[in-house]
Amino acid sequence: MQAFSSNSSHDYGIFVTVEQRGFSDDESLPIPIPIPEVSILLNVVVSYNVNSDISLPTRAYDARLELDHPFHSFKSNSRDILSNMIDAMHIPFPLDRLRWKTQRFGGGNTEPLESVEAMVSRMALEASTMVENHGAAGLNKKLGILVTVEKEIPMLAHQLFDEMQQLEDEDRELRDEVNSQIETYHAPLALSSGGIEQIGEGWARRLREGWYSLALRASVMLSADDVHQMEDVLDRLLSLRDSMIRTCANMRSFLDTLAQNTGDIDDGALTEAAVRESLEEAVLSPMPATRASVEALEKFVFDGGVQRGSSSDQRCVVCLGKMLSGDQVTCLPCSHMFHGHCIEQWLRYGHVCPLCRFKLPTDY
């Protein structure tokens, strides 16, 4: 089993399930049953969703610990037994963002768990119920219980690639329009447009090819190197996506400012000073949202899609992570919702909604 090492800051959830597992017929206990036993298998998993075409996440870490206990011992000490097993596993990630899941595969409802103590109590309750039911049924087999703690990390690059391809097309159209205006008004605009970031064409396609070559190579178990390479690609994608959004916004501001400065001039002549001053204010300088406008934004706990008619599979477009019941979210005045920490970080560097370009107040 490989060691798991990751510095991932991407969105994730830690899902906990308790399920009954069966044994083959040759593991049936003899009659009369000497001392009925319960076998607890604790499975700790780290998995990544790296490809929309792969139905199940790809594992990066998988560790197991199995212990047998007499029924009477487990019934009276289930919480301590499970707590000690978790401590003995030395789980290689913090137990935060915990969620209870009714079944590991095939969907299943989830709900937030407030703490590790709440997780252990829920595990013990479910396992004890299985022990009671098994004993009441008088079954002639050892009872197997599977406890899974799985950190699921969505790395949904395919969605990001599609978004960036659209941004690349938009960038091309806007840049053609800007260049056309530069040819019309010559030096002043050429001088002022120098602050608009130039991002080379085709980068989305090249990164997509690299991503899918990694995804196909790591179809069973991701190595630590695979994980770090994918995290690096995704970080670069998010950075490029944000740069492209800012670039397109700057070019739109450039064209808007140009229209405002030329509207009342009959001969089409522009003074270099006027254009430079307007464009440096509207295009070249970063314009974060005011602190007061960010603090005034509506904040609430996401309830899984019941509020505001939102979808249960809604995602935060800043981090691409799925919004889960219990997450802290923030709503902009345009009604678009994001993870609270994601949109707050976004608004430190810009003042427009990532989806619809709604503008928040600035200090400029």
For residue 299, the domain's CATH number is 3.30.40.10
Residues 47 and 102 occupy one common structural domain: yes
Residue 280 confidence (pLDDT): 54
CA proximity to 319, closest of 219, 194, 235 = 235
> How would you list the strands of the sheet with 110-112, edge to edge?
58-70, 37-49, 143-154, 13-21, 98-101, 110-112
pLDDT tier at 98, thresholds 50, 70, 90: very high
User: Phi/psi of residue 135, each to 5°?
Assistant: -65, -40
Beta bridge partners of 67: 40
Residue 7 lies in a domain: no
| Together in a domain, 181 and 281 | yes
Residue 284: the pLDDT is 47
Residue 325: inside a domain, yes or no?
Answer: yes
Q: 3-state DSSP helix/strand/coil percent for the chain, to nearest 5?
A: 45, 20, 35
**Least confident span in 5-14, 115-124, 291-300, 355-364:** 5-14
Mean pLDDT of 254-279: 58
The answer as to whether 277 is a domain residue is yes
Residues listed for the chain: 364
- Residue 282 tokens read as 């509207």
291: enclosing H helix or E strand: helix 291-295
Convert the pLDDT of each residue in 191-208 to its tens digit. 444 455 555 556 666 667
Domain identity same for 171 and 275: yes
User: Can you tell me the distance from the alpha carbon of 63 to that of 72, in angstroms, rounded to the nearest whole number?
Assistant: 27
> Do residues 152 and 47 lie in contact, with contact meaning Cβ atoms separated by under 8 Å?
yes
d(CA 270, CA 294): 37
Q: Are residues 29 and 139 in the same domain?
A: yes
Residues 43 and 121 in one domain: yes
Domain with 167 in it: 156-285
Number of domains observed in the structure of the chain: 3
Q: 42, 19, 10, 4: which is closest to 105 by C-alpha?
A: 19
Helix or strand (DSSP H, E) at 122 = helix 116-137
Whether pLDDT at 182 is above 80: no
Residues 150 and 163 in one domain: no
User: Given phi > 0 = left and psi -120 to 50 = alpha, else beta, which region is 192?
Assistant: alpha
Please indicate whether residue 21 or residue 277 has the higher confidence score (pLDDT). Answer: 21
Average pLDDT over residues 212-219: 63
How does the average pLDDT of the chain come out, rounded?
Answer: 75
pLDDT at 271: 53
pLDDT of residue 262: 61
